[in-house]
Amino acid sequence: MDGVLSQDEINALINGGGDASGSEGGGAAEDTSAEGGGGNTLTEDEKDAIGEISNISMGSAATTLFALVNRKVEISTPIVSYSTWSDIEETYERPCVFIRIAYTVGLDGSNILVLKERDVKIITDLMMGGDGQNVEGELGELHLSAISEAMNQMMGAASTSLSSMLNRMIDISPPVADLINPQDDVDEASIDEFLTHPFVLIKFRMQIGDLVDSEIMQLYPFEFAREMCKGVSANMEEETDSVAAAAQAAPPPAAAPQQAPPPQMGQPMGGQPMGQVYNQQPVNVQPAQFQSFSGGQFQQVQPENIDLIMDVPLNVTVELGRTNKTISEILDLSPGKIIELDKIAGEPIDVLVNGKYVARGEVVVIEESFGVRITEIINTVNPIKNS
């Protein structure tokens, strides 16, 4: 009433308990349950470490996905936050595909990747040789099997990167993909740790050519995230200790020999009075003399025997033609693409020996193999005789 807060009210404000009447206390308690409570939070260093781990792992996964779909793949820098299952139900597009990745060696736990249904259809269509436009119809077992195989290769590459960061062997079991409606079709036994507890949420933006520009999510249990952070920290400490031990074991640099200061003017040098000549040993200096090359002392070098190198193998290359392409054009190559060369149809092809242009010819067919009939020798002079 007098505008002065009591000690209990001050403590409530400091602890995030809302106003003195306690009308907001329930909301704060729910927030503490979702993010606080000691066991359900990460330190800033741990959040940075999880972000870096995810960034490197998903970078390796993106490279693998590029090889599978033959399209440019970009995955953005991850955003690390906390979330609950109810948040996923309210915000993420339904239905979606949950892919569970369980770690069998090196780590104890699992994580979940969440992808949109349309993105999965595009990826699987590209993997099967399509153009990514076949997204009609329901998502079936064929799509789930294909995306599981894609994630198996992607997360295998990510595990290799994770092994380097943790300095230990990391392996996963084959991922399991399920079509999920977060409100209805949840298998509680497989994702119980995410349904009943808050978890670490990592969001990425994924772009695949001009077909996909979407958001994917990765869910980590808190204990699993902390285990990875501890492994990275321990590995960094070991590397630091190794560098320090190597620096201590290295011998100190040898001290440069000290030179005697130059004698001052008017002072004796080496115990001798000024002007006195040193007692040095006499040096006999004579002009250099060389043996004459005349008079038959050296035999003339005989010509080399060409027979000694007759069985040396050489690489013979037949070149149909050449062309120049930009990096973007090379990345767009796919089965069925036609590359136009600088040769005209019917024009002689080039024959090279160890990369040297030596002849021209025409293509012939000998039974079931191709051959080349030489029509012109470019260098008619024997280079061995002129060498």
Q: What is the CATH number of the domain that holds 172?
A: 3.40.1550.10
Do the beta carbons of residue 375 and residue 361 sit within 8 Å? yes
Residues 74 and 197 in one domain: yes
256-276 burial code (b ≥16 CB/10 A, e <16)? eeeeeeeeeeeeeeeeeeeee
Position 234 pLDDT exceeds 60? yes
Q: pLDDT tens digits for 127-182?
A: 888 888 888 888 888 888 889 988 988 888 888 888 888 888 888 889 888 887 75
> What percent of the chain shows pLDDT beyond 70?
67
Of the residues 238, 269, 300, the one at which a domain ends: 238
Counting the structural domains of the chain, the total is 3
The model scores a pTM over 0.75: no
Q: What range does the domain containing 379 cover? A: 315-320+342-387
Report residue 21's pLDDT band, with 50, 70 and 90 as the boundaries: very low
Q: pLDDT tens digits for 249-301?
A: 656 655 555 555 555 544 555 444 444 444 556 666 667 666 665 555 445 54
Do the beta carbons of residue 220 and residue 111 sit within 8 Å? yes
Residues 83 and 221 in one domain: yes
Q: How many residues does the chain have?
A: 387
292 lies in a domain? Answer: no
Residues 15 and 103 in one domain: no
**Residue whose entry in the numeric block shows the structure tokens 């013979």:** 316
Residues 155 and 11 in one domain: no
Q: Quick one: three-class SS letters along the chain? A: CCCCCCHHHHHHHHCCCCCCCCCCHHHHHHHHHHHCCCCCCCCHHHHHHHHHHHHHHHHHHHHHHHHHHCCCEEECCCEEEEECHHHHHHHCCCCEEEEEEEEEECCCEEEEEEEEHHHHHHHHHHHCCCCCCCCCCCCCHHHHHHHHHHHHHHHHHHHHHHHHHHCCCCEECCCEEEEECCCCCCCCCCCHHHHHCCEEEEEEEEEECCCEEEEEEEEECHHHHHHHHHHHHHHHHHHHHHHHHHHHHCCCCCCCCCCCCCCCCCCCECCECCCCCCCCCCCCCCCCCCCCCCCCCCCCCCCCCHHHHCCCCCCEEEECCCCCCCHHHHHCCCCCCCCCCCCCCCCCEEEEECCEEEEEEEEEEECCEEEEEEEEECCCCCCCCCC
Residues 55 and 31 in one domain: no
Residues 74 and 166 in one domain: yes
Of the residues 218, 238, 258, the one at which a domain ends: 238
Residues 79 and 222 in one domain: yes
Do the beta carbons of residue 65 and residue 170 sit within 8 Å? no
Distance from the Cα of residue 55 to its chain's centroid: 10
**Residue whose entry in the numeric block shows the structure tokens 């249904």:** 117
279 lies in a domain? Answer: no
271 lies in a domain? Answer: no
Residues 126 and 17 in one domain: no
Q: What is the CATH number of the domain that holds 383?
A: 2.30.330.10
Residues 134 and 12 in one domain: no
Position 20 pLDDT exceeds 60? no
Do the beta carbons of residue 78 and residue 61 sit within 8 Å? no
Q: Which residue has the higher pLDDT, 274 or 207?
A: 207
260 lies in a domain? Answer: no
Which stretch, 232-236, 281-285, 337-341, has highest mean pLDDT?
Answer: 337-341
265 lies in a domain? Answer: no
Cα separation values, 52 from 4, 154, 201, 247, Å:
47, 17, 14, 28
Residues 21 and 133 in one domain: no
Of the residues 238, 266, 284, the one at which a domain ends: 238
Residues 21 and 73 in one domain: no
Mean pLDDT over 225-238 rounds to 80
Torsion, Cα of 316, 318, 319, 320 (10° steps): -170
Residues 53 and 25 in one domain: no
83 lies in a domain? Answer: yes
How far apart are alpha carbons 85 and 104 in whole angstroms? 25
295 lies in a domain? Answer: no
How far apart are alpha carbons 292 and 163 in whole angstroms? 70
59 lies in a domain? Answer: yes
